[in-house]
Amino acid sequence: MNEQVCLHLNPGDRQLQKLAGSDPSMGALMNAVGELRIPLRTDYFDALVRSIIGQQISVKAAVTVRARLKEAAGVLTPAKVLSLDPEVLRGAGVSPTKISYMHDLSSRITSGELDLQRLPRMDNDEVLVALTAVKGIGRWTADMFLIHSLGRMDVLVMGDAGLQRAARWLHRLPEHGQRKYLEQVGHLWVPYGTAASLYLWEAINLGWVDSGQGPEVWIDNHNI
């Protein structure tokens, strides 16, 4: 059995040391969290379908829909999606709007308009253009694909509300109405925006960001 491909982040790596040098607060967070191993979703079609299904519903609900869809339809391919009776998709909990998105994605792939296997050879901007041409795939979904499927290291997901919140927490930024905190500090993380994003998400997952306590409570041993 092949080992799953992962994006491996180690604070001791040269690239992350450069990131820490540019932003000591981020460096302290990385040291406090330690190594991260992020499994990559290398089945690109499945990854995009998962993203479409998960839009505007909870993670738990998305898992339930995917499980029902797998039980009803088996392994999904673009041709299979197009051949399925829409009632099968609706019966699994996929909304009519999301069905139209899945059909558009599948049609572009089967026609050759979108070649998923070319995406790893394209630069970030080219991938963004190719993916956001698909109905239902916006910038956030495309950015997540760059990180979680292609493993690109230079992606900062500006449209992610959690990251905005975490950036404010890490740098103790004063609250303001526009809440564009990433815009204030994101330049410190170029060209390692992916690492910054993943460590900030992990701080959210650990409960640090929303604890009501400052970063020094959690990473006070790292002198930020």
Which positions are annotated as active-site residues? 160
In angstroms, rounded to a whole number, what is the distance separating the alpha carbons of residues 128 and 155? Answer: 11
Site of tokens 């041993």: 221
Indicate the residue type of 125: D
Cα–Cα distance between 79 and 84 in angstroms, integer? 9
207-215 contact pairs (CB < 8 A, 24+): 208/169, 209/162, 209/165, 209/166, 209/169, 210/165, 214/169, 214/172, 215/25, 215/28, 215/29, 215/169, 215/170, 215/172
